[in-house]
């Protein structure tokens, strides 16, 4: 089997603001319930209030209260918009879920977002403040006892929009590759894949022919539009998928894209590329050939 062609292109990513929170619960069932709700409808800031995903599950030693725990990364274009989104999401989806608690996952960040200090008012005057190891928490009375929530969250700079676009001839190969690359990237620290199942089938371009729309379908990658637009698809390709990567820093994105390329090249795909906007959207450029270490041949036999 020959390797898919690795296109001589780059992914263009942009600056975002990011925060990390840790959610705990009495058992895995309630932790999963909270995480599903917290990360719902958070694929793209094109229309969602934030881009949110589970970074990783934490061991009992890493859990701040020894219970089942997970770290969640949230991304937004500004600290103020991110703070509003996280406050609403935690209040509506985590505080309402049985047995949960929320802790700050970024203690070393100087800038902070209010969380518990705002959610405490739900306690209607019955809430109580508590300090643990110099960190302020709020105990909000709820129907199964108390909801413990940290007073504030650390917020720092993140990067949104790292990506790989892989073209396939047989859709079954595309779907298998999609599941494999997502499974591999889900194990990496410092990143999330915000789209459903980690994959976007409706990639976008900046702008639209319709007034008021900031983004529209990436027509160059739509197989049904061949002949009507300038296509970016290989003539052998019948479609493509995109994996979008948000990360806490440049290194996290690079590692994820490097692993992604390695995994995708194990499948009988047509080509592996990336989406960019000619350098007009973001200042972070990730060249695929550089990430692959110069190994760009399309004719080698896969091991």
pLDDT digits (tens, 9 = 90+) for 237-258: 999 999 999 999 999 999 999 9
Cα–Cα distance measured from residue 143 to residue 139, given in angstroms and rounded to the nearest whole number: 13
Strands 271-273 and 5-6 turn out to be parallel
pLDDT bracket for residue 1 (50, 70, 90): low
Res. 302: pLDDT tops 90: no
Rounded distance between C-alpha atoms, residue 272 and residue 52, angstroms: 26
Q: Find out whether 73 and 155 touch, Cβ atoms under 8 Å.
A: no
Q: Assign domain 5-13+159-291 to its CATH architecture.
A: 2-Layer Sandwich (3.30)
> Which of left, alpha, beta for 279 (phi over 0: left; psi -120 to 50: alpha)?
left
Q: In angstroms, rounded to a whole number, what is the distance separating the alpha carbons of residues 253 and 133?
A: 33
Can you tell me which residue has the tokens 């894949």?
A: 193
* Farthest-apart Cα atoms in the chain, separation: 69
| Tens digits of residue pLDDT in 37-92 | 999 999 999 999 999 999 999 999 999 999 999 999 999 999 999 999 999 999 99
Architecture of domain 17-156: 2-Layer Sandwich (3.30)
Please name the residues in contact with 104: beta carbons below 8 A apart, sequence gap of 6 or more: 20, 21, 22, 135, 150, 152, 153, 154
pLDDT at 2 over 60: yes
How does pLDDT run across 166-204, given as a tens digit for each residue?
999 999 999 999 999 999 999 899 999 999 999 999 999
Among residues of the chain, what percentage have pLDDT more than 70? Answer: 96
Distances (CA, A) of 94 to 23, 72, 87, 265, 278: 8, 12, 10, 39, 40
Which range is least confidently modeled, 3-7, 85-89, 223-227, 278-282? 278-282
**What are the residue ranges spanned by the domains of the chain?**
5-13+159-291, 17-156
Q: How far is CA 31 from the centre of its chain?
A: 19
Q: How many Å apart are CA 222 and CA 202, to the nearest integer?
A: 9
User: How would you classify residue 112: left for phi > 0, otherwise alpha for psi between -120 and 50, otherwise beta?
Assistant: beta
Question: Of the candidates 38, 52, 41, which has an alpha carbon nearest to the alpha carbon of residue 100?
Answer: 38
């Amino acid at each position: 089997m020959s390797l898919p062609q690795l296109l001589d292109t780059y992914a263009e990513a942009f600056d975002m603001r990011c925060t990390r929170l840790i959610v705990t619960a009495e058992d895995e069932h309630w932790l999963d319930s909270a995480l599903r709700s917290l990360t719902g409808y958070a694929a793209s800031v094109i229309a969602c209030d934030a881009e949110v995903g589970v970074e990783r599950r934490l061991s009992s030693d890493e859990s701040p209260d020894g219970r089942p725990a997970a770290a969640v990364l949230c991304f937004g274009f500004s600290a103020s918009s991110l703070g509003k989104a996280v406050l609403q999401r935690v209040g509506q989806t985590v505080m309402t879920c049985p047995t949960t608690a929320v802790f700050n996952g970024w203690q070393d960040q100087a800038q902070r977002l209010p969380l518990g200090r705002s959610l405490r008012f739900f306690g209607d005057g019955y809430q109580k403040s508590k300090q643990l190891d110099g960190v302020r928490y709020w105990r909000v009375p709820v129907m199964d006892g108390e909801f413990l929530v940290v007073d504030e969250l650390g917020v720092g700079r993140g990067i949104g929009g790292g990506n790989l676009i892989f073209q396939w001839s047989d859709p079954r190969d595309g779907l298998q590759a999609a599941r494999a690359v997502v499974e591999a990237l889900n194990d990496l620290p410092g990143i999330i894949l915000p789209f459903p199942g980690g994959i976007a089938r409706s990639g976008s371009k900046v702008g639209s022919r319709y007034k008021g729309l900031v983004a529209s379908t990436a027509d160059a990658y739509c197989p049904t539009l061949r002949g009507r637009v300038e296509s970016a698809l290989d003539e052998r390709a019948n479609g493509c998928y995109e994996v979008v990567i948000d990360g806490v820093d440049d290194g996290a994105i690079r590692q994820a894209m490097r692993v992604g390329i390695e995994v995708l090249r194990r499948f009988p795909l047509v080509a592996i590329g990336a989406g960019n906007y000619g350098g007009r959207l973001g200042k972070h450029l990730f060249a695929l050939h550089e990430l692959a270490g110069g190994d760009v041949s399309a004719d080698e036999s896969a091991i």
